[in-house]
Amino acid sequence: MITLGIDIGSRNTKIVFYDTSNQSILFSAWSATEVNPLQSVHSLLKQAKNSYGLDLPEEIACTGYGRKLWKGNSKVFSEITCHTTGVRYFMPEVRTIIDVGGQDAKIISLTPEGKIKDFVMNDKCAAGTGRFLEMVASRLEVSLDELSELALQSKNPLTISSTCVVFAESEIIGMIAKNTDPADIAYAAHISIAKRIITQLSAVDFTPPIVFTGGVAQNKNLVQCLSELLNTTIITPPNPEITGALGAAILISQTEEYN
């Protein structure tokens, strides 16, 4: 049986076609969430059809901020459950999950058996999320990929004291006005986010192995900062962007349902 997982996020929309018989991913893709989120979904489904001949299956599951927008025959699952299931597909032994997206950050603590033990979520402030990195990249006039590479070149590490994005942006503008090396500013931004994530981690009983997922997990410098501050290896899945959609596709084939 083939299932479809749809993750409509605030910044990006992801889909995964999953073969339940072989427990394999048939197709996955993601794109920026448009003003009309469903348009993003249909564009991705068109890719799956044109590239692999995949039609809309009967079993569809949705998650993410826009999980209730899909009006077809589908089930809805929580982001926490979907990311847990998706990450465990790649790494069954995971004990702690860090999921950082465009607008929120989640920490999920698991039991040795893989059950959700505890979680915390920051969706009230953009600090510690992808939106913060987008702001910094915009100020430094580089892409998000370039921002990560730029931070790796820092020779004079700085810190950003503000924990609010608005005030942090003013702090960065002040650094730019003083002709501060952009690499040092980029590094300071990554350390700032890493420290915010660690503050969240302290609210749960976290244990390695730690897996970093979500779109922001593709940022190599942030992964490095977290690893150094926590003094442990931070693992990223092969495609951290799709774990929510993958989890939804897997969950729909199981008998136990979540809201």
Q: Which amino acid is at 72?
A: G
Structure tokens at 175: 């650094």
CA atoms within 13 A on the CB side of 102: 14
**Exposure b/e, 151-180, CB count within 10 A at least 16 = b:** beebeeebebeeeebeebbebbeebeeeee
Coil, helix or strand for 247? Answer: helix
**pLDDT at residue number 257:** 43
- Which residue segments constitute the domains of the chain, with CATH numbers given? 1-91+240-259 (3.30.420.40), 93-236 (3.30.420.40)
Angle (CA) 80 34 50, round 5°: 90
Q: In this structure, are residues 11 and 130 in contact, taking their beta carbons and an 8 Å threshold?
A: yes
Structure tokens at 118: 């505890």
pLDDT band at 54; cut points 50, 70, 90: very high
**pLDDT at residue number 161:** 80
Each residue's pLDDT tens digit, 209-241: 999 999 899 999 999 999 999 999 999 998 999
Question: Of 167, 183, 93, whose CA–CA distance to 132 is shortest?
Answer: 167
Residue bearing the bigger pLDDT, 103 or 245:
245
Mean pLDDT, range 22-46, rounded to an integer: 95
CA distances, 124 to each of 96, 104, 121 (Å): 22, 8, 9
Each residue's pLDDT tens digit, 162-202: 767 788 889 999 999 999 999 999 999 999 899 989 999 99
d(CA 178, CA 30): 39
Strands, E assignment, the chain: 2-8, 12-19, 24-32, 59-63, 75-76, 96-100, 105-110, 116-122, 210-213, 234-235
CA atoms within 13 A on the CB side of 259: 0
Is the predicted pLDDT of residue 255 greater than 80, yes or no?
no
Q: Which amino acid is at 254?
A: Q
